[in-house]
Copies of this chain bind each other. A is one copy, B any other.
Amino acid sequence: MLELAILGLLQETPMHGYELRKELATKLGTIRAAISYGTLYPTLKRLQTAGFITESASDPSMIPPMTSKRGRVVYKITADGKERFADLLAQAGPETYDDAGFGVHFAFFSRTDRATRLRILEGRRRRIEERREGLRDVLSRAAGRLDAYTLELQRHGLDACEREVRWLEELITNERSGRAPAASAGTFDLPAEPLQERAAGESPQEQPRPHQDRP
């Protein structure tokens, strides 16, 4: 799973480990908080051994700070790596439908063809529906055996399942009709913020603005 994510990010631009971890954290923030270095470095080593990435020291593209000879290692994807990435993106096994696997695949959906997107979305939906049925069974059949807290936990979990199924259904509908993914209006809207100049790479300012939350 991590392999896919790393290959995907390195396909955009070469990076060193620290940077990679940060990008991973923002791109997959929903899935896992932050990848551990105890995972990242061994994985990078593995990918390197397999020939999917190469390392080159002291990249030249460092202008602002960093003008010294510290041992920064920049990783770059190879042709084999790109091929591998495409393979991993297209093929969907059972591990594609668990929380982590689905999250990573979804995060790279903009580089996945529609047929695969639909396949993954539907596989994930089936998975969640199964979990949901399991919880319903427990709540209706085993309810008497369980204490109030355990029951409450199941209820909350069931709720989350139902919500996710609805979300997936919406996404599937959108995919089928060829619309963009983000048709969910009102899910996230800043009150009166100027967020036009996004889609450009940068925004130089950044005022105090302490996290307004939905009106």
State whether B148 touches A182 (Cβ < 8 A). Answer: yes
Copies in the complex: 2
**Contact A158 to B107, CB < 8 A, known contacts A136-B213, A143-B198, A144-B200:** no
Residues in B neighbouring A143, C-beta threshold 8 A: 195, 198
| Interface-centre pick from A30, A143, A144 (highest chain B CB count, 10 A) | A30
**Interface residues as binary, A178-212 with B (CB distance below 8 Å gives 1, 0 otherwise):** 00111010011010010101111111001000010
| Interface-centre pick from A139, A153, A197, A203 (highest chain B CB count, 10 A) | A153
Residues in B neighbouring A30, C-beta threshold 8 A: 135, 153-154, 156-157, 160
Residues in B neighbouring A159, C-beta threshold 8 A: 187-188
State whether A140 touches B190 (Cβ < 8 A). Answer: yes
Interface assignment of A110: CB less than 8 Å from any CB of chain B = yes
* Bound complex: CA A28 to CA B33 (Å): 22
Shortest C-beta distance, A209 to chain B (Å), equals 8
State whether A152 touches B201 (Cβ < 8 A). Answer: no
Identify whether the interface residues of A are mostly helix, strand, loop, or mixed: helix
A-B contact pairs, 21 of them (CB 8 A): A26-B138, A26-B146, A29-B131, A29-B135, A29-B154, A29-B157, A30-B135, A30-B156, A30-B160, A106-B153, A108-B149, A109-B147, A110-B148, A133-B211, A136-B213, A140-B195, A141-B206, A144-B202, A148-B181, A151-B182, A155-B182
Interface, chain A (partner B; CB < 8 A): 26-27, 29-30, 33, 103, 106-110, 131, 133-160, 163, 167, 171, 180-182, 184, 187-188, 190, 193, 195, 197-203, 206, 211, 213-214
Contact check: which of B135, B182, B197 meets A152 at CB < 8 Å? B182
